[in-house]
Amino acid sequence: MTKTILKFQNVSITYANGFRAVRKVSFAVRSSECLAIVGESGSGKTTLVKSALGILPKNTKVSGSIKINETEIVGAKEKTLRKIRGLFAGFVAQEPFSAFNPVFSVFDHIAEAWRVHKLQPKKSEIFDSLERSGIENAAENLKKFPFEWSGGMLQRAGIVAVAAHKPEIIIADEPTSALDADRADSILKALRKTDAAILLISHDINLVQRFADRIAVFKNGEIVEMSETESIFENPNHEYTKLLLSDNVHEKYATDKSNPKIILEAKKLSKFYSSNGNKIHAVKRADLTVQTGEIVGIYGASGSGKSTLLRMLATIELPSNGEIFMQNELATSFESNKLFFKEARKGFVMPIFQNPLSSLNKNWVIWRIITEPLEAKHRTEKLSKVEKLEIARKILAEVGLSEIDLNTKPAKLSVGQCQRVSIARALTANPKLIAADEPTSALDARSANIVMKLFSKIAEKGTAIIIVSHNEPLLKTYCHRLLQMHDGILENE
Amino acid sequence: MYSEFFKNKSALVGLTLGTLLLLFVVFVPIFSTHYPNEQKPSRKLLAPSVENLLGTDQFGRDVLVRTAVGGRRSLGATLIVIGLTLAVSILIGISIGLVGGIVDSFFSRIIDILLAVPTLVLALAIVGVLGVGFENLLIALVISFLAFYTRLVRSYALSIKQRPDVITARLAGISWTRIILTHIVPDIFRQMLIVATLDLGGIIISIAGLSFLGLGSQPPDAEWGAMLGEARFYFSNAPHLLFAPAVAILLSIVSANLIGNALRDVQELE
């Protein structure tokens, strides 16, 4: 009989502000099995993970029982929890660049897995583990800092650190959301090679189908269905499970472009950075034209230069070489640090960022965030608060958020709702071009589809949209044109 | 944030202590029948009694009323130092953080030089140049703390400048003035308020310490540090002279630290 490594029994979790994030959840993870928990953003998955590791905020009430290897976690002292963390239970974070301390080398970070338990780090073991996970020249690369590694490489290094003491269970919270499909697969393969039991939190249904033995579907803090992976996909019982699976099916979404004009043209763009006297080419060559009402998708692996290209197209960064024309006027040129096209600072191009929560001012209420573009200095009309509230209400209705309280702050909204608020803010500026960098990577499948359909609606009205993403299937469904970024070069499909 | 702050136990204890201290320094001199500088040689070095609740000092002056009046000077000076330091550091720090380039490099090197010298030593040196006196002491302390605060504000400004919501505002056409006033200053002020509150204790000690050395308040003005300085000569036969200012300093520091910790905890929760 297989051993139970992690057991949740009737666990309910209520935050200090009274919000009940998890309601009477019970499940067990057996040795060597992978249990995936899937669900929408804000359903309570991350709260569950944090409770298993005893890292919930102070004053959070946890009832029920959580056991790792027969050790009770609920109410355990910090001394007991420290003996569990790293040795019996490992954790892989979502965002590798946030999980690694930028002032320490990658080697120091991995070695910390030994040092915190007063053990000597084994250099040869670290080098071998990294080479086995596909990182070449491990000894040289380990001396570098995290920002010199790609996200995929860093995530693999994180797994080496986590697996240092061969923990019985590894808890991975969205370990692949920041990675493209190929890298995501290699990360999950690396995790499964460790032979530990895995509790995998993910909103990527496809990934979960390939790697999990069992799936628990999470909604509003409860498990609505739990079964073997094959059974969930072939014969889902709960309505919500059926909805989640149907959101994953991408049928071509037809949009119409009429009277197209060229809104943006980029010629021979490139961008390099200097580091320790070396030139790092983030973008080697990119030529691109975008028409009004067109949705252009750019996909590629992590580190291929997609985001750098988008930042140049949005005039957030200046190119090292090449020129950008907007509405047939020169906007940027490598010959000058100046921005020639003044309209680029009048809402001509508006950005949508990957992390919706950090792209909104957390201290502002929603209506103020959405109507901020109306305060631009080129707008001579001064609007009253009542007028701004009315505009905010209309725009929120356009993005499907008419039920939101205008005086709410972003922290009270889900990640998907925050992304729609970002889009609403962009629409207020009445842009000719929207530059979206991984706008759906932090979202579950439902929210991702809602956001992409919103982009299609916006494009129908004439706004051009450039979307950078590693989610090729999603881009194929919604984009008029798809381009690939490979090793700094933009290739036509 | 504020509703969470008032629910925090540390905040409640800190605010209660702080309020009691404030009431003490404001109302005791008003209602007392003694004057802080009134000398009564026949009543010198008396132990606490009904007539003089905290006893009398070497000149027969009432210790209770001098502690209260001294508190006005000590606490008032602390708030002036922290207020001026915050204002100037926010002005300079944001300016150099946003302008960047050679201006940033130049001011950063000056900050580096000032930071190389311990705060109290720097304050001593500045008082040495300006001359002894309470006002000069405050100027010296503002200059001493300015380097650290400006460095901190500069780094906050640099990071806020790169934030997605600020980039979005810029692309939408919002002017830098408006971005500074609506995004940068409020966020920096929130962060620096926590730092300043946690530093209040240190500033009280600095003022008391330099006054203890005779570099701040001059006789006959009452001030906690100066009172401690005078009391050390009479410790063997009048130990009560030390207790009042020492306890007052202790309670001020505890109150400030509790409030600062509570602000930090509440911010982390957010």
pLDDT per residue as tens digits for the range B19-75 = 999 999 999 999 988 888 888 888 888 888 898 889 998 899 999 999 999 999 889
Q: What pLDDT, on the 0 to 100 scale, is given for residue A178?
A: 66
Beta carbons of A351 and B164 less than 8 Å apart: yes
Task: Report the gap between the CA of B78 and the closest CA in chain A (Å).
Answer: 29
Query: Is there a contact between A130 and A142 (Cβ–Cβ < 8 Å)?
Result: yes
In whole angstroms, how far apart are CA A432 and each of A231, A351, A439?
47, 11, 18
Q: Is residue B37 part of a domain?
A: no
Q: Is residue B33 part of a domain?
A: no
DSSP assignment of A378-397 equals: T--PPPPHHHHHHHHHHHHH
- Count of structural domains, chain B: 1
Chain B residues within 8 A of A345 when measuring between CB atoms = 170-171, 173
Chain A residues within 8 A of B5 when measuring between CB atoms = none
Reported as a pLDDT band with limits 50, 70 and 90, residue A116 is confident
Give CA–CA dist A242/A245, Å, rounded.
5
Helix (H, G, I), strand (E, B) or coil at A172: strand
Q: What pLDDT, on the 0 to 100 scale, is given for residue A260?
A: 73
Question: Environment class of residue B64 by beta-carbon count within 10 Å: exposed (0-12), middle (13-18) or buried (19+)?
Answer: buried
Beta carbons of B187 and A363 less than 8 Å apart: yes
Beta carbons of B178 and A375 less than 8 Å apart: yes
Give CA–CA dist A219/A421, Å, rounded.
23
B:157-176 residues touching chain A, CB 8 A cutoff: 163-165, 167-175
DSSP H helices, A319-471, are 366-370, 385-398, 415-428, 445-460
- For the whole model, what pTM was predicted? 0.77
Give CA–CA dist A388/A378, Å, rounded.
17
pLDDT in tens, A74-105: 989 988 888 888 888 888 887 777 778 888 88
Chain B residues within 8 A of A331 when measuring between CB atoms = none
Chain A residues within 8 A of B168 when measuring between CB atoms = 350-351, 353, 359, 422, 425-426
Nearest residue of B to residue A369, measured between CA atoms: B165
pLDDT in tens, A271-321: 988 866 777 888 999 999 999 999 999 998 877 889 899 999 999 999 999
Beta carbons of A353 and B164 less than 8 Å apart: yes
Q: Does residue B185 have a pLDDT over 80?
A: yes
Structural domain containing residue B69: 9-25+62-269
Closest CA to B225 of B123, B90, B102: B123
* CATH architecture, range A4-247: 3-Layer(aba) Sandwich (3.40)
Residue A143 per-residue DSSP state: T
Taken in order A30, A35, A39, A41, is the CA torsion positive or negative? Answer: positive
- Contact of A372 with chain B, judged by CB distance below 8 Å, is answered with yes
Q: Which residues contact A13 (CB under 8 A, 6 or more apart)?
A: A20, A21, A22, A44, A47, A48, A51, A56, A60, A61, A62, A221
Q: What pLDDT, on the 0 to 100 scale, is given for residue A467?
A: 96
Q: Is residue B44 part of a domain?
A: no
User: Smallest Cβ distance to B171: which of A16, A57, A345?
Assistant: A345
Q: What pLDDT, on the 0 to 100 scale, is given for residue A412?
A: 84
| Interval A185-202 mean pLDDT | 85
Closest CA to B93 of B216, B185, B193: B185
Q: Is residue B111 part of a domain?
A: yes
Which of A239-248, A444-453, B4-13, B108-117 comes out lowest in average pLDDT? A239-248
Beta carbons of A373 and B173 less than 8 Å apart: yes
Q: What pLDDT, on the 0 to 100 scale, is given for residue A493?
A: 54
Task: Report the gap between the CA of A127 and the closest CA in chain B (Å).
Answer: 35
| Interval A361-371 mean pLDDT | 94
Task: Report the gap between the CA of A379 and the closest CA in chain B (Å).
Answer: 9
CATH number at residue B204: 1.10.3720.10
| Interval A342-362 mean pLDDT | 89
Beta carbons of A373 and B164 less than 8 Å apart: no
Chain A residues within 8 A of B269 when measuring between CB atoms = 16, 57
Task: Report the gap between the CA of B48 and the closest CA in chain A (Å).
Answer: 45
Q: What residues does CATH 3.40.50.300 cover in chain A?
A: 4-247, 262-492
Q: What pLDDT, on the 0 to 100 scale, is given for residue A250?
A: 54
Query: Is there a contact between A462 and A293 (Cβ–Cβ < 8 Å)?
Result: yes
Q: What pLDDT, on the 0 to 100 scale, is given for residue A337?
A: 77
Q: Does residue A411 have a pLDDT over 90?
A: no
Q: Is residue B45 part of a domain?
A: no
Reported as a pLDDT band with limits 50, 70 and 90, residue B1 is low
* CATH architecture, range A262-492: 3-Layer(aba) Sandwich (3.40)
Q: What pLDDT, on the 0 to 100 scale, is given for residue A22?
A: 93
Beta carbons of A372 and B169 less than 8 Å apart: yes
Nearest residue of A to residue B267, measured between CA atoms: A363
Query: Is there a contact between B90 and B189 (Cβ–Cβ < 8 Å)?
Result: yes
Q: Is residue B1 part of a domain?
A: no
| Interval A440-454 mean pLDDT | 85
- Contact of B9 with chain A, judged by CB distance below 8 Å, is answered with no
Q: What pLDDT, on the 0 to 100 scale, is given for residue A151?
A: 73
Q: At what angle do helices B134-161 and B101-115 cross, to 10 degrees?
A: 140
- Contact of A395 with chain B, judged by CB distance below 8 Å, is answered with no
Give CA–CA dist B98/B181, Å, rounded.
13
> What rounded mean pLDDT belongs to chain A?
86
Which residues is A291 bridged to in the sheet? A262
Nearest residue of B to residue A428, measured between CA atoms: B172
Chain A residues within 8 A of B176 when measuring between CB atoms = none
Query: Is there a contact between A286 and A269 (Cβ–Cβ < 8 Å)?
Result: yes
Query: Is there a contact between A217 and A244 (Cβ–Cβ < 8 Å)?
Result: yes
Structure-block tokens of residue A227 = 């079964």
Beta carbons of A351 and B183 less than 8 Å apart: no
Q: Which residues contact B248 (CB under 8 A, 6 or more apart)?
A: B21, B67, B70, B71, B74, B224
Q: What pLDDT, on the 0 to 100 scale, is given for residue B132?
A: 84
For residue B5, the one-letter residue type is F
User: Smallest Cβ distance to B164: which of A359, A378, A429?
Assistant: A359
Parallel, antiparallel or unpaired: strands A4-14 and A214-219: unpaired
Give CA–CA dist B156/B235, Å, rounded.
47
The enclosing H or E element of B172 equals: helix B164-172
In whole angstroms, how far apart are CA A169 and each of A7, A12, A34, A90, A101?
11, 22, 10, 6, 24
DSSP assignment of A414-436 equals: -HHHHHHHHHHHHHHT--SEEEE
Q: Which residues contact B204 (CB under 8 A, 6 or more apart)?
A: B74, B75, B78, B224, B249, B252, B253, B256
pLDDT in tens, B83-100: 999 999 999 999 999 998
DSSP H helices, A54-150, are 78-84, 96-99, 106-115, 123-132, 138-141
User: Smallest Cβ distance to A316: which of B163, B167, B190?
Assistant: B167
